[in-house]
Amino acid sequence: MKKTGLTSFFDALHLVLSNVRAVEPVGRSLLSAAGFVLREDIRADRHLPPFHRSAMDGYAVRLSELAAGKTLFRQVGTLEAGSAWKGKVGKGDCLKIMTGAPVPGMLDVVIQVEQSRLSGGMVELAGPGVCKFLNIHRMGADAKKGALLLKKGAVLSPRNIAVASSVGAVRLAVSRPIRVAVVSTGRELVPAAATPSPSGIRDSNSPFLMARLKTIPWINASFAGIVKDDPRKLETILAAALEKNDMVILSGGVSMGDADHTPAVLERLRVKNIFHKSAIRPGKPIWFGTSGKKAVFGLPGNPVSVGATFHEFALPALKKMAGISDPHVRVLYLPLGATAKKSHPLREFRVARLVDGGAAVSPVETYQGSGDFVSASQSDGLIVIPEDRCEMPAREIVEFHPWDMP
Ligand code: AMP
Ligand code: MG
């Protein structure tokens, strides 16, 4: 535990991730599990496909006969998807077959309808260039019975729901929703609906955090209110929020100002401080602590600091609590569309936007610093300017953390 000085970004992230645990799993029905985090492995209950599946509408025949130069076949029946052929298919015979129907064992190619012709009551099929299992999706080709299809820790995307459905997994073990409370602190703050005094500010951090949390299906977020830098009120609200939630996210009041009461109040509530202040910009005064299994983030109040520190620290913590196998933020490596500069030795997370149709990323030119949420609203994510760099020239490959890829 480090309480004084600046904790490096990577040490801070490590401290966050090593101090939170996955919540317990619960059972949910297939569709209501969509978007949640899977907490069990899902395996194939039979081969996929479960039989040699015709991949085309056409005619099933023996390759050996085609290879021997035979072109005219007698049609002995028609097989639809969902039916099985019980009869025989003798020498010189073919079976009309529809996409999805099981190809009988004695036949090994399907010639598509487009390559056939009816001629004098017989079916004429084109033979050259045909190889074994043409247009047959072979039994077990996609997955063998017992194969691991979905891994514990996966987020159940619509595609994953389709896979679970196909093996009959109608009830899934998923992480229960993570309960998160959001608190804004600051004497100057009023709710968005109120008219601020000339020195007042409308709260934008809580609406940001609530909206961001709302986009995550496995989170239950609640707004605990605005606290006007009154330590006693803050203590009451935080005590209640801690009681009912897995994580509390505060904004404001963690710097060195006279009204920055958050750390002292949290310590009074026996929330153990894990680190305070990291060598990053924006967001340097960030405070992180735990109380049993619960986590508390005190994010610096400037709106861009909130956006950056939520993304870089709180989101990975939430992902770990939800049991996601890799809780780190998503990183894309893209060329810079313009030079990125800084003049401090901290790790900078600079608001940036995709350019050239997403082939490059550029810092938002108008950005005025961590209070400038207007410029930040033009961004698609953050680029990283490492501690030891003052300037990254255009075209250099930069780390880009998109806001909207979970
Ligand atoms: P603090 O971290 O409390 O020193 O706040 C830093 C700056 O962010 C100040 O200019 C605050 O007015 C501003 N700020 C703090 N909280 C909010 C909020 N909830 N919404 C908008 N701005 C805020
Ligand atoms: Mg404040």
CATH code at position 287: 3.40.980.10
pLDDT one-digit tens code per residue, 283-295: 999 999 999 999 9
The pLDDT, as a whole number, for residue 228 is 93
Q: How far is the CA of 3 from the centre of ligand 1 (A)?
A: 23
Q: Which residues pair with 96 in a beta bridge?
A: 59, 78
Torsion of CA 74, 80, 81, 85, to 10 degrees: -60
User: Do 235 and 303 fall into the same domain?
Assistant: yes
Q: Within this chain, do residues 124 and 191 fall inside the same structural domain, yes or no?
A: no
Whether residues 274 and 355 share a domain: the answer is no
- Model pLDDT for residues 360-378, shown as the tens digit of each residue: 999 999 999 999 999 999 9
Length of the chain: 406
Using the mean position of ligand 1's atoms as its centre, give its distance from the Cα of residue 251 in Å: 7
Atom 23 of ligand 1 has which residue's CA nearest to it? 301
Q: Which atom of ligand 1 is nearest to the CA of 302?
A: 8
In a domain, 387, yes or no: yes
Query: Of 395, 385, 335, which Cα lies nearest the Cα of 360?
Result: 335
Percent of the chain with pLDDT over 70: 99
* Residue 384 resides in a domain: yes
| Residue where a domain terminates, one of 299, 321, 343 | 321
- Rounded to the nearest whole angstrom, what is the distance from the C-alpha of residue 277 to the centroid of ligand 2? 16
Angle CA 33–37–41, to nearest 5: 95
- Asked, for residue 4, whether it belongs to a domain, the answer is no
* Exposed / middle / buried, residue 189 (Cβ in 10 Å: 0-12, 13-18, 19+): buried
Distance (Å) from CA 110 to ligand 2 centroid: 72
**132 and 57 together in one domain:** yes
Domain end among 88, 109, 137: 137
Give the Å distances, CA to CA, from 200 to 187, 285, 294.
8, 22, 33
- 39, 339 Cβ separation under 8 angstroms: no
- In a domain, residue 1? The reply is no
Same domain as 313, residue 210: yes
Average pLDDT over residues 23-34: 98
Output phi, psi for 307, to 5 deg: -60, -45
Question: Do 64 and 76 fall into the same domain?
Answer: yes
Mutate to test the pocket of ligand 1, among 183, 302, 306, 373 (most ligand atoms within 8 A of CB): 302
Of residues 59 and 229, the one with the higher pLDDT is 59
- Ligand index nearest the alpha carbon of residue 369: 1
Q: Residues with beta carbon inside 6 Å of ligand 1?
A: 184, 186, 188-189, 201, 203-206, 251-253, 255, 257, 300-303, 371
Same domain, 96 and 157: no
Task: Name the amino acid, one letter, at 18.
Answer: S
Contacts of 121 (CB under 8 A, 6+ apart): none
How far is ligand 1, taken at its centre, from the CA of residue 205, in Å? 8
pLDDT digits (tens, 9 = 90+) for 234-276: 999 999 999 999 999 999 999 989 989 999 999 999 999 999 9
Tokens standing for residue 51: 């039989």
Please tell me whether residues 106 and 243 are part of one structural domain.
no
Q: Among all ligands shown, which has an atom nearest to the Cα of 229? A: 2
**Res 2 pLDDT > 60:** no
Q: Give yes or no: residues 82 and 202 share one domain.
A: no
Report d(CA 253, CA 131) in Å as an integer: 72
Question: Alpha-carbon distance 209 to 202, whole Å?
Answer: 14
CA angle 143, 147, 153 (to 5 degrees): 115
Flag whether 38 is in a domain.
Answer: yes
Q: Which domain holds residue 162?
A: 27-43+151-174
Contact 103, 49 (CB under 8 A): no
Ligand 2: distance of its center to the CA of 62 in Å?
Answer: 79
Instruction: Point out the ligand nearest to the CA of residue 192.
Output: 1
181 and 166 both lie in a single domain = no
Asked if residue 326 is part of any domain, the answer here is: no
DSSP three-state, residue 259 = coil
Residue 155 lies in a domain: yes
In this structure, which ligand is nearest to the CA of 254? Answer: 1
Domain end call among 321, 356, 383: 321
Report phi then psi at 76, rounded to 5: -100, -5
Query: Is 50 exceeded by the pLDDT of residue 64?
Result: yes
Q: What is the CATH number of the domain that holds 62?
A: 2.170.190.11
Residues 353, 240: one domain?
Answer: no
Nearest CA to ligand 1 atom 10: 302
Task: Quote the number of domains for the chain.
Answer: 4
Residue 48 in any domain: the answer is no
| Domain co-membership, 255 together with 166 | no
pLDDT higher than threshold 50 for residue 74: yes
Contact 109, 63 (CB under 8 A): yes
